[in-house]
Amino acid sequence: MTMKDRIAIDPRIHFGKPCVAGTRIRVHNVLELVREDIPFAEIIRDYYPDLEQDDIRACVQFAMDVVAVEDLHVAALP
């Protein structure tokens, strides 16, 4: 399974928000835990026992890919 195969977007699950494939675990929720510096093993043990470490890595990669293709526009300051 590739990293891209680990993330699914299905309009019937969480209104099309990206989730870990085969689960209802939103990428956003996983990234919140990563942001809090919670180790991957602890995320799996204490929060999402259905995940694998590669699922968490795929969430991070997904976020990086989204940011890489987004055009960010900064308003000019007066």
pLDDT tens, residue by residue, 19-75: 999 999 999 999 999 999 999 999 999 999 999 999 999 999 999 999 888 777 777
What are the residues whose beta carbons fall under 8 Å from the beta carbon of 7, sequence distance 6 or more?
Answer: 18, 19, 20, 21, 27, 58, 59, 62
What pLDDT score does 36 carry? 98
- Which residues in 43-60 are b (16+ Cβ under 10 Å) and which e? bbeeebeebeeebbebbe
Class of domain 4-69: mainly alpha
What pLDDT score does 41 carry? 98
At 2, the pLDDT band (50, 70, 90 cuts) reads confident
What pLDDT score does 14 carry? 94
